[in-house]
Amino acid sequence: MTRKYFGTDGIRGTSNSLPITSEVALKVGQAAGERFIRGDHKHRVVIGKDTRLSGYMLESALTAGFISVGMDVVLIGPMPTPAVAMLTRSMRADIGVMISASHNSYQDNGIKIFDPDGYKLSDSVEIEIENLMANGPGKRLADPADLGRAKRLDDAAGRYIEFAKNTFPRDRSLEGLKVVIDCANGAAYRVAPTVLFELGAEVITLGVDPNGFNINHNCGSTNTKELCSTVVSNNADVGIALDGDADRVIFCDETGKLIDGDQLMALIAAYWSKEDRIRGGAIISTVMSNLGLERYLDELGLSLKRTNVGDRYVVEEMRATGCNFGGEQSGHIIMSDYATTGDGLIAALQVLSVFCHSDNPVSEVGRSFIPVPQKLVNVESVLDDPLAKSNVKSVIRECEKKLAGNGRLLVRKSGTEPIIRVMAECDNQEVIDIVINDIVSAVQEAKQ
């Protein structure tokens, strides 16, 4: 069954337009509440959000929906997505909800849902919720005496800060390390700098003045220009960029050059492998990860298992195979020893624990392999599915033949934005450029 509301990562769209309206949020609260009500105990849901203006609207509507079916609501305010997952599990809540559109601009927002164990929902459960939404609230509305209540959890930030600090090796300190942290004017603007400071680092902050409109605006993991220049101008050791909901992280070294998620996974994998901490004999990543990472892991005696794009698919594969480490090139890093979803801050701490253990600069330590040339182009699309056009299919087939045995081609619709992503990877940059240009031209012609 095709999902109407849920996409790659929850429900996402432009605020106050379908599906991101107060009406839909109310229905989500009622339907998700019914789906996760179990047993005779008083049920509750943890709701967090990032710093977008529209978060107030969606928070209120979701709260009303959950209360109407008899669930108590615990509001934690602006907090990272992984904090919602952690608190859902630690507080024995029945469900967790994060209101965020991650790396998108303030005009967008979204709804991410976690099960009682702190994991993002499977496709099948999302379909169940959509079916309940379509059927209306009906008999599941609570009697007046059984309505839920709402309250704010005042120590939510403190709980997450201590949780994050406890993932850092006890025999190490960040003392002597100058760190620039860019919080994207998003959900981690309070907690991330605090954690780094309390672990001993000298902290320079960017993106810590949210106003409802500036989340991800010229800052964060998708716009690292200011981070890189600030690291260089302040003679800092390393720069860290989170996205709007702090579930992904990108680094830059002391020279201002970026270190992406593939390199971060390689770094952690090598270190964990020496400590015999890798379970399942493999790292789980997506089809977007560089072929260079796969070759490097093979040298370590580890395999790379690929999934569809989306950190929840990485997590599902980790759970199915017994692996405890995975992530995405974009910076979602999942370590199931610590968290049930991507956690930019905790991943950053693991990387920093390696940096502070070395006498070499980050520019030397932070790059474990030479990436295979890779190019990604995003093409705006006004059609529902330009990839279904016969001419586009034909061009893609021809390009696959050009790369056969020498590289990889990935052409897909984004699950969060109205764009087509075209990625080619090959040891020959000239072939990459030809393939990308041919496919982009075909997609652009199809939408005319």
Query: pLDDT digits over 153-203, tens only?
Result: 999 999 999 999 999 999 999 999 999 999 999 999 999 999 999 999 999
Assign 139 a pLDDT band (cuts: 50, 70, 90): low
Q: Where in the chain is the domain with CATH 3.30.310.50?
A: 374-446
Radius of gyration of the chain (CA): 22
Who has greater pLDDT, 3 or 114?
Answer: 114
Q: What is the pLDDT of residues 270-307, one digit of tens each?
A: 999 999 999 999 999 999 899 999 999 999 999 999 99
**Active-site annotation, residues:** 102
290 in Cβ contact with 371 (< 8 Å):
yes
Report helix, strand or coil for 376. strand
Q: Which CATH architecture does the domain made up of 159-255 adopt?
A: 3-Layer(aba) Sandwich (3.40)
Q: Per-residue pLDDT for 1 more than 60? A: no
Strand order in the sheet with 303-307: 303-307, 282-286, 325-327, 333-335
Q: What CATH superfamily is the domain 261-347+358-365? A: Alpha-D-Glucose-1,6-Bisphosphate, subunit A, domain 3 (3.40.120.10)
Tell me how far the alpha carbon of residue 57 is from its chain's centroid.
Answer: 23
Element (H, E) at 365: helix 362-365
Q: What CATH superfamily is the domain 6-154? A: Alpha-D-Glucose-1,6-Bisphosphate, subunit A, domain 3 (3.40.120.10)
In CATH terms, the fold of domain 374-446 is TATA-Binding Protein (3.30.310)
Distance CA 231, CA 240 (A): 10
Q: For residue 54, what are the contacts with CB-CB under 8 A and spacing of at least 6?
A: 15, 16, 20, 106, 109
Distance CA 46, CA 27 (A): 17
Mean pLDDT, the chain, integer:
94
77 in Cβ contact with 49 (< 8 Å):
yes
264-to-36, 114, 159, 240, 270 alpha-carbon distances in Å:
36, 26, 26, 12, 10
Q: What is the pLDDT of residues 320-347, one digit of tens each?
A: 999 999 999 999 999 999 999 999 999 9
- % of the chain surpassing 70 pLDDT: 98
Is beta strand 303-307 parallel, antiparallel or unpaired with respect to 282-286? parallel
Q: Per-residue pLDDT for 436 more than 70? A: yes
What is the reported pLDDT for 413?
85
Q: Where in the chain is the domain with CATH 3.40.120.10?
A: 6-154, 159-255, 261-347+358-365
Assign 138 a pLDDT band (cuts: 50, 70, 90): low
